[in-house]
Amino acid sequence: MTLSLVIVTALLGTWVIFHDNKSIGPSLNKLAILALLFQVVYRYTTSFSTEMALFALAKDAFILSMISALLIITKKNIFAQLGILFASVYFLYSQVQNETHPLPSQEIDPQAELLIKTDNGAVTSSLEDLMQHYSIGLERSFTPTDADATELDDYFTLDIPDESQDYIEKIIRELNQLSEVEWVEYNEKLYRLPLNPGNTISGKALVNINDPRTAQQWSLQALNMDDYYFTFKNQSLSPATRSRLFILDSGIDAEHEDIKEVYVKGKAKNNRDSRGHGTHCAGIAAAASDNGIGIASMSPGVDWVSLYSIKVINDLGFGTQKSIIDGIIEAVDNGADVINMSLGGKAFQKKETAYEEAVKYANDHNTIIVVAAGNSNESAKNFLPAKLDGVITVSAVDNQLKRAFFSNYVNEISYGISAPGTDILSTFTEGKYEPKSGTSMASPHVAGLIAVMRSLKPSLNMDEAYDILNDTGIKTGDTKATGKFIQPNDAVNSLLSQGIADK
> What per-residue confidence (pLDDT) applies to 107?
63
How much is the average pLDDT of 160-185? 87
Q: What is the percent of the chain where pLDDT is above 90?
A: 66
CATH 3.40.50.200 fits 212-497, yes or no: yes
> What per-residue confidence (pLDDT) applies to 49?
57
From residue 255, give the alpha-carbon distance in Å to each of 252, 263, 281, 397, 415.
9, 9, 15, 30, 34
> What per-residue confidence (pLDDT) applies to 414?
95
How much is the average pLDDT of 311-322? 86
How much is the average pLDDT of 439-448? 98
Q: Which of 404, 410, 419 is nearest to 391 (CA)?
A: 410
Torsion 203-207-208-210 (CA) sign: positive
For the ranges 47-51, 90-94, 296-300, 450-454, the lowest mean pLDDT is seen at: 47-51
Backbone angles phi, psi at 14, to 5 degrees: -65, -40
> What per-residue confidence (pLDDT) applies to 331?
98
For the ranges 72-86, 138-152, 158-172, 186-200, the lowest mean pLDDT is seen at: 186-200
For the ranges 48-62, 333-347, 415-429, the lowest mean pLDDT is seen at: 48-62
> What per-residue confidence (pLDDT) applies to 186?
84
- What are the residue numbers of the active site? 249, 277, 440
Report helix, strand or coil for 339. strand
Q: Which of 410, 415, 408 is nearest to 438 (CA)?
A: 408
> What per-residue confidence (pLDDT) applies to 111?
67
> What per-residue confidence (pLDDT) applies to 15?
86
> What per-residue confidence (pLDDT) applies to 103?
40
- For 470-483, write each residue's pLDDT tens digit: 999 999 999 999 99
Residue 112 pLDDT > 70: no
- For 261-287, write each residue's pLDDT tens digit: 999 999 999 999 988 999 999 999 999
- Cβ atoms of 340 and 312 closer than 8 Å: no
From residue 459, give the alpha-carbon distance in Å to each of 90, 261, 362, 454, 501.
47, 25, 14, 7, 9
> DSSP labels for 198-239?
------PPPSSS--TTGGG-HHHHHTTHHHHHHHHHHTT---
Residue 1 pLDDT > 60: no
**pLDDT grade, residue 122 (50/70/90)?**
very high
Q: What is the mean pLDDT of the chain?
A: 90
In the chain, ranges of CATH 3.30.70 domains: 114-187
Instruction: Report the CATH architecture of 114-187.
Output: 2-Layer Sandwich (3.30)
CA distance 392 to 371: 6
**pLDDT grade, residue 311 (50/70/90)?**
very high
SS3 string, 80-123, reads HHHHHHHHHHHHHHHHHHHHCCCCCCCCECCCCCEEEEEHHHCC
From residue 290, give the alpha-carbon distance in Å to each of 29, 45, 139, 256, 307.
84, 70, 48, 16, 16
Backbone angles phi, psi at 154, to 5 degrees: -90, 0
> What per-residue confidence (pLDDT) applies to 102?
40
In the chain, ranges of CATH 3.40.50.200 domains: 212-497
How much is the average pLDDT of 358-362? 97
Residue 493 pLDDT > 50: yes
Q: Which of 169, 186, 112, 192 is nearest to 351 (CA)?
A: 186
> What per-residue confidence (pLDDT) applies to 402?
97
> In 308-334, which positions are buried (b, 16+ CB within 10 angstroms) versus exposed (e)?
bbbbbbbeebbbbbbbbbbbbbbbbee
- For 213-263, write each residue's pLDDT tens digit: 999 999 999 999 999 999 999 999 999 999 999 999 999 999 999 999 999
Backbone angles phi, psi at 396, to 5 degrees: -105, 140
How many residues in total does the chain contain?
503
> What per-residue confidence (pLDDT) applies to 99?
44
> What per-residue confidence (pLDDT) applies to 310?
97
- For 22-80, write each residue's pLDDT tens digit: 888 888 888 888 888 888 887 777 654 566 567 778 888 889 899 989 989 998 898 88
Residue 291 pLDDT > 90: yes
> What per-residue confidence (pLDDT) applies to 96?
61
> What per-residue confidence (pLDDT) applies to 93?
78
